[in-house]
């Protein structure tokens, strides 16, 4: 077991954003985390990535308790994430952004030369090799999104958390993102994806977890989850009706 989340609860003032949510993630899994807006998906990511601590509950990575560790320490242990609202270092070039990931992540390299070589390979992988000298602030929103994925990959994560990475991508880009995510497994990277593109989530994931109003209402294979009446009522019915 790579990750175990035990009875996570998070309240913001009077609002219960997550309530007693537990699940496990196996190495090599692609887990889909779905649910309506406001159901607690980003909150779960924020807690796992150390952006803020839970009100109660635990996060264990490879059996070690990492609950409440600050983001840079969580990154050093091997969890990387992309933000729903992307935020690369705008004053740094694309290359410097990815190099920063390589030098401050999990198993970081000390040599700037080596970091540069590896960062260039990652930029090629995400289609930004030619923009390596462009400041992140001058990239398009979509390019920044790919850059942020590059920076996350550069930290050599064991677990990658992707928060609505596909939102706003063209159908061609969605396909590119899906095949990229498909390749992560061979690189030893386990992924949890939050996405509203239900078809993409169901195709990519071997395990799906459904949140609704801060509570886990279902989990299982994509087939099991998409047949579950509670899931259809809370989420899928409305999504399918909209498409």
Ligand X SMILES: Nc1ncnc2c1ncn2[C@@H]1O[C@H](COP(=O)(O)OP(=O)(O)O)[C@@H](O)[C@H]1O
In the complex, which residues of this chain contact ligand X (CB under 6 A)? 12, 15, 17, 35, 37-43
Looking at residues 22 to 41 of the shown chain, list those that interact with Mg ion (rule: CB under 5 A): 41
Q: In the complex, what is the shortest distance from the CB of residue 109 to ligand X, in angstroms, rounded to a whole number?
A: 33
Residue nearest to Mg ion (CB): 42
Q: In the complex, what is the shortest distance from the CB of residue 168 to Mg ion, in angstroms, rounded to a whole number?
A: 14
Looking at residues 58 to 87 of the shown chain, list those that interact with Mg ion (rule: CB under 5 A): 84
Residue of 19, 39, 42, 226 that binds Mg ion (CB under 5 A): 42
Q: What is the CA radius of gyration of the chain?
A: 18
Q: For residue 75, what are the CA distances in angstroms to 5, 31, 56, 89, 224?
A: 17, 19, 21, 17, 33
Helices marked H in 78-170 — which ranges? 94-104, 112-125, 141-154
- If phi > 0 it is left, if psi is from -120 to 50 it is alpha, else beta; for residue 210 that is beta
Tell me the C-alpha distance between 86 and 62, whole Å: 28
> Given the complex with ligand X, which of 41 and 151 has the nearer CB atom?
41
Considering CB distances under 5 to 8 angstroms, the limit depending on partner class, which of ligand X, Mg ion, none binds residue 12? Answer: ligand X
Q: In the complex, what is the shortest distance from the CB of residue 242 to Mg ion, in angstroms, rounded to a whole number?
A: 18
- Which burial class, exposed, middle or buried, applies to 50 when counting CB atoms under 10 A from its CB (0-12, 13-18, 19+)? buried
> Given the complex with Mg ion, which of 58 and 84 has the nearer CB atom?
84
Q: In the complex, what is the shortest distance from the CB of residue 3 to ligand X, in angstroms, rounded to a whole number?
A: 18
> Given the complex with ligand X, which of 35 and 157 has the nearer CB atom?
35
Total residues found in the chain within this entry: 243
CB 103 within 8 A of CB 115: yes
Q: In the complex, what is the shortest distance from the CB of residue 163 to ligand X, in angstroms, rounded to a whole number?
A: 7
> Given the complex with ligand X, which of 17 and 198 has the nearer CB atom?
17
Binding site for Mg ion (CB under 5 A): 41-42, 84
């Amino acid at each position: 077991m790579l990750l175990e989340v035990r009875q996570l609860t998070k309240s913001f003032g009077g609002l219960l954003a997550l309530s007693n949510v537990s699940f496990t993630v196996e190495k090599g899994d692609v887990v889909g985390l779905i649910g309506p807006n406001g159901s607690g998906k980003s909150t779960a990511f924020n807690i796992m990535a150390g952006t803020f601590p839970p009100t109660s509950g635990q996060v264990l990575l490879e059996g070690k308790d990492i609950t409440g560790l600050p983001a840079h320490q969580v990154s050093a242990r091997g969890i990387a994430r992309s933000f729903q609202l992307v935020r690369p270092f705008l004053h740094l070039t694309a290359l410097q952004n990815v190099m920063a990931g390589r030098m401050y992540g999990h198993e970081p390299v000390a040599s700037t030369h080596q970091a540069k070589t590896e960062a260039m390979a990652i930029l090629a992988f995400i289609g930004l090799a030619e923009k390596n000298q462009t400041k992140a602030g001058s990239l398009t929103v979509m390019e920044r999104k790919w850059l942020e994925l590059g920076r996350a990959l550069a930290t050599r994560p064991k677990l990658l958390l992707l928060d609505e990475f596909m939102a706003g991508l063209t159908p061609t880009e969605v396909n590119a993102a899906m095949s990229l995510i498909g390749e992560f497994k061979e690189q030893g990277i386990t992924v949890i994806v939050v996405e509203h593109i239900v078809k993409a989530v169901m195709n990519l994931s071997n395990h799906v977890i459904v949140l609704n109003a801060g509570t886990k209402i279902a989990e299982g294979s994509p087939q099991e989850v998409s047949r579950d009446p509670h899931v259809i009522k809370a989420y899928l019915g409305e999504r399918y009706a909209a498409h």
